[in-house]
């Protein structure tokens, strides 16, 4: 709800720029079949839900940090 509310507010002020969240890209409750791919279990406790948050109408694009295994 916060992402939706704040992104709509920002767009009401400035529609000329693209808007992105800047989250790390962890799976959350909306993707229970993918949660096992998160690097640790604490991600579920901090409210991160990359896919759900980026579905907000006023969010224009998503980016992710990729940390390949060494």
Among 37, 18, 15, CA closest to 28: 37
- Rounded to two decimals, what is the model's pTM? 0.73
Enter the tokens of residue 22. Answer: 């800047």
Rounded to an integer, the average pLDDT of 57-66 is 88
Average pLDDT, the chain: 86
Enter the tokens of residue 38. Answer: 């998160």
Backbone angles phi, psi at 28, to 5 degrees: -130, -160
The pLDDT tens digits of the residues spanning 21-51 come to 987 778 888 888 988 888 887 766 676 788 8
Residue spans per domain, the chain: 2-53
Residue that is written with structure tokens 């409210």 in the block = 47
Enter the tokens of residue 34. Answer: 């993918």
């Amino acid at each position: 709800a916060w992402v939706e509310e704040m992104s709509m507010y920002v767009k009401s002020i400035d529609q000329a720029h693209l808007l992105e969240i800047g989250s790390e890209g962890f799976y959350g409750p909306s993707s229970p079949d993918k949660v096992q791919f998160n690097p640790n279990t604490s991600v579920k406790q901090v409210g991160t839900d990359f896919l759900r948050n980026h579905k907000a109408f006023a969010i224009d694009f998503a980016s992710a940090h990729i940390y390949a295994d060494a």
